[in-house]
Amino acid sequence: MAMREIRTVGDPVLRTPCDPITTIDDRVRSLVEDLLETVDEDGRAGLAANQIGVGLRAFSWNIDDEIGYVLNPTIVELSEDEYQDGDEGCLSVPGLWFPTRRAWYARVVGHDLDGKEVVVEGTELMARCLQHEVDHLDGMLYLDRLERSVRKKAMRAIREQL
């Protein structure tokens, strides 16, 4: 297991959709261990594999004292009439938080290391995390979901950090 370096905005791996995991082998087991160790730090809610430079569909979470992971996650349900508006941040966009609208509830289906189906669902912060991490695996950053005027401010703030 290893605490892995977080890739930041501008790294092309963050904009590349991740490949499905087709075989659960030692490489995938090691990836999951690294995701779990790297997300297990105060202030970290979720971590997608591409944020540590691995282009495979897997992420971990650390919400309300629960740490877990899912392989090949797919969002299967979002609340359609209930939303949450709040500031969202990202380990790959360090130090910046911007108002991002997300569904209030989300449900993800994927698999564990034994190949068994797992369902991960939640409201509020967990729902935000599930949506945020699946976006990462699809090559999207939360910045892409910002309203236009807010996105302009975000991009300016990122340029100022460089």
Residue 38's pLDDT is 96
Q: Give the chain's residues under pLDDT 50.
A: none
Q: Whole-model pTM?
A: 0.95
The domains of the chain, with CATH numbers, are 12-161 (3.90.45.10)
φ/ψ of 46, rounded to 5, equals -160, 160
Is 133 known to be catalytic? yes
C-beta separation of 133 from 48 below 8 A? yes
Query: Per residue in 77-118, pLDDT tens?
Result: 999 999 999 999 999 999 999 999 999 999 999 999 999 999
Residue 78's pLDDT is 98
Q: 108: closest CA among 64, 66, 78?
A: 78
Residue 1's pLDDT is 61
Name the active-site residue from 5, 66, 77, 133.
Answer: 133
Q: 73: closest CA among 91, 61, 90?
A: 61
Own/partner contacts of 99-102, CB < 8 Å, gap of 24 or more, are 99/146, 99/147, 99/150, 100/128, 100/142, 100/145, 100/146, 101/145, 102/127, 102/128, 102/131, 102/132, 102/145
**DSSP per position, 5-70:** PPP-TT-GGGGSPPBPP----HHHHHHHHHHHHHH-STT--EEEGGGGT--BSEEEEEETTEEEEE
